Amino acid sequence: MSSWEGCDRRRFVRVNYPCLVVLKKAADKKNIILTHTENIGVGGICVILKQDLKKFASVDLEIDLMDMDQHIQCTGKIVWNVRRRELEDKKPSYFDIGIEFDDVNDQDKKRLRRVVDKLVRNTKERPKL
């Protein structure tokens, strides 16, 4: 088992699902970061950033599930961060940032669960080539 596989033990299933995310550091509300998800689950998300965020830092989140409903607004905590390898010297380095949700309301949890469950079902139903 690689060191990365050891980091990938989640309490909630995550799926690849593109969402727009507005992230604000709780300590610095003026610094707004617009990004997108690498994956999402009922308990948290992974976003891709050009900058590193400190582990255990609190963040405010606004997540657009792209389902024509209201954006999910909640807080979260950075639980892991991994620097991606630079593929080329001319490209900036990116970070995968794992965020655990702190206070998603019940209605938004249900929406998240529907999205995740649907994608898991669709993945299982696809024929393997």
Low-confidence spans in the chain with pLDDT less than 70: 1-12, 86-92, 125-129
Q: Is the dihedral of CA 16, 22, 26, 28 positive or negative?
A: positive
- The 10s digit of each residue's pLDDT in 28-60 is 778 899 999 999 999 999 999 988 899 999 999
Q: How many domains does the chain have?
A: 1
Residue-number span of the structural domain to which 72 is assigned: 3-125
Q: What is the pTM of this model?
A: 0.81
pLDDT score, position 80: 94
Provide the H-helix boundaries in the chain: 3-7, 106-125
Our measurement of the distance from residue 21's CA atom to the centroid of its chain's CA atoms, rounded to an integer in Å, reads 8
pLDDT score, position 3: 38
> How many whole angstroms separate alpha carbon 72 and alpha carbon 27?
20
CATH number for the domain that contains residue 38:
2.40.10.220
